[in-house]
Chains A and B, each alone.
With several copies, the nearest count.
Chain A
C-alpha cells in the first residue's frame, strides 16, 4: 500500500466517522437521537469552535502551556522510567525488595495526589508535569525492566566474555536490546503524558487545554469540550510521529517484516 492510498483511506475513515457522528447527533433513529447533542455536540459546531480558537488566536497560549507540560512530563517520565528500569534490572536484589512498593505506588489514584503536587510544586506547570510523570514513568519503567530481562542470553554471554563492564553492557547490549520495548512503551506514554497534563490543568490551573475544557464543561459547552479534545488529539499525533521517526532511526538494524529472511 503506498503512501497516498494510505492517506486516502485514513481520510476516508475520518470522513465516515464524522458523518456518522453528524447523523447520529442530528437525525433521530427509531424515534430517538442516539447521540444527544447535549452530550456529544456535533461536528459542525466543534469545527466552528476549533476554527474560532485558531482564528482569534486564543488557543495558542493554552496549547503552548499544555505542550510544554506534556513534553516535560514525557521526557522526565521516560528518562526516569528508563533509568529506574535499568537499575532494577541490573540489581535484582534491590528490585525484589522494592518491587511491591513500586506496584503500590503505581496503583495510587493520581487525581487524589493532585493537592500534594500543588503543595510541593505550586500552581504553575510543574504540578501538572508531576502528574504526567507519574503516569509515564510506570509505563516506561515496567517495559524497560522487562526488556532488559529479555536480552538474548547468548549475546549477553558474548558481551561479557568480550570484557564489557556493567556500564559498557548497558550501552552496547541492554540499551539497544531494550529499545524496541522502550519504544513500545513510549507510544503508549505519549498519550498518557498529555492526559496527565490535561487532567492536572483540569483539576486546577490558570491556563492550558485542560483549563479550556473545564471552562467549556462548566458552562455545558460540549462543543468546546470536544474541540479541546480534538486539538489535543491532533497534537498527540504530532508528538507520536516524532517518536516514530526517532524509533525508525534507532532500530534501523532490524529486518523489515517484509524482507525478513528465515
Chain B
C-alpha cells in the first residue's frame, strides 16, 4: 500500500464530501492506497502544504490550478467531483425586504469566505454579470462557518456568499431566507456560467502526477467509484456512512443539506472543458494578472485517468 497525504481545505464543507466518503467506504484501500486526510482551515493552506511537499494531493477547488498557472506553477487536476461550484449568494435575514436582486447589492457590504478567495472572485463575477460595479460593493471576509452565520444574523453584512452546510443551517433558522443565486443547482449554474462549472477536484503538481501515475489512477478510481455510489444512494444512507464528527449533532439538518447538495456531485468525475474556460473567465474578470497571463487551460486538468476508469468499466460490462 502506498501512503498518500491528502490535504483538504475545510473538510466539513459538503462540497468536499466525496473525498471523505471514499475513505469511509474503503475505496482508497480497495485501490491499494493508504490515504491520510489532513484538514486545513482553507483551500489555500491545503494547497501550500502540497506546494511545500508536506502533502501529496489537494482536495479543493479547481480554480486554484488556474490561479497558480498565472504564476507559472504547474498544477493539474485529475478528477473533478463537483460539477457545480455550490456557492449561494444569500441575503442577510435583516435585509430580506430590502434586497431582492443582485442589482440591489450596489453600495452594500457583502461577505465572502476571505478576501481574495474563490468566493470573492465568484461574487465579483456575479456582480459584473448583473451590471453592478464590483468596486461599489464592500467585501468583508466572514469565513464559512459560525462566523458567517453570526455576521448574517447580526446584519453586519447585507449578504454573503455561503456554502453548505452553512446555507442550510441559516435556512433552518430563517424560514424566508432569500437566496439570490444558488449554484448548488443546475439551473442557476447554467444561467450564471452557461455550462457546468468545476468546483471540488483532486489536483496536485503536474510533475507529481507524471511520476506517480499508478497512485493517481488509483485515487481516480476511488473517487469515481464513490461518485457512483453517491448517486445510487439516498442522503440518509450517505449520512449514515459519514463519521460523527462530520455530521455533527443535528443529523436531520445534515441530511437536509446533503439533499440540497447532492445534484452538485459529478457523476463521471470528468472535467468539462467549457467549465475550465468558465473558471478562467470568472477570474479574468477581476484579476488583471490572470487576464494578462497566457494560460494554457488544457494543462491545468487531465481527463486521462477518469477516462481510463470509465473505459475499464465499459470493458467489464
Contact surface of A with B, Cβ cutoff 8 Å: 36, 38-39, 45, 114-116, 118-119, 122-124, 201-206, 211-212, 214-224
- Of B108-116, B126-134, B274-282, the segment with at least 4 beta carbons within 8 Å of chain A is B108-116
28 contacts between A and B (CB under 8 A): A38-B73, A39-B48, A39-B51, A39-B150, A115-B48, A115-B145, A115-B150, A118-B54, A119-B48, A123-B49, A202-B141, A203-B45, A203-B147, A204-B143, A204-B147, A206-B36, A206-B109, A211-B115, A216-B245, A217-B114, A218-B10, A219-B245, A219-B249, A219-B254, A219-B289, A220-B47, A220-B146, A221-B116
Give every chain B residue within 8 A of A218 (Cβ-Cβ): 10-13, 44, 114-117, 120, 145, 246
Report the separation of the CA atoms of residues A118 and B42 in the bound assembly, to the nearest whole angstrom: 14
Q: How far is the CB of B20 from chain A (nearest CB, A)?
A: 11
B39, B41, B52: the one within 8 Å of A215 (CB): B39
Give every chain B residue within 8 A of A118 (Cβ-Cβ): 45, 48-49, 52, 54, 142, 147, 150-151, 154, 156
Interface residues on B, range: 35 or more
A114-B147 CB under 8 A given contacts A206-B38, A219-B254: yes
Mask: chain B, 5-31; 1 = CB below 8 Å from A; 0 = not = 101001111000000000000000000
Report the separation of the CA atoms of residues A114 and B147 in the bound assembly, to the nearest whole angstrom: 7
Residue of A nearest to B37 (CB): A206
Residue of A nearest to B248 (CB): A219
Contact surface of B with A, Cβ cutoff 8 Å: 5, 7, 10-13, 36-41, 44-49, 51-55, 67-68, 71, 73, 109, 111, 114-117, 120, 138-143, 145-147, 149-151, 153-154, 156-157, 165-166, 169, 173, 245-250, 253-254, 287, 289
Q: Are A214 and B150 in contact (CB under 8 A)?
A: no
Q: How far is the CB of B259 from chain A (nearest CB, A)?
A: 16
Report the separation of the CA atoms of residues A216 and B115 in the bound assembly, to the nearest whole angstrom: 8
**Given known contacts A36-B51, A122-B54, A218-B11, what 8 new A-B pairs fall within 8 Å (CB)?**
A39-B52, A118-B147, A119-B54, A123-B156, A204-B41, A216-B248, A219-B250, A220-B71
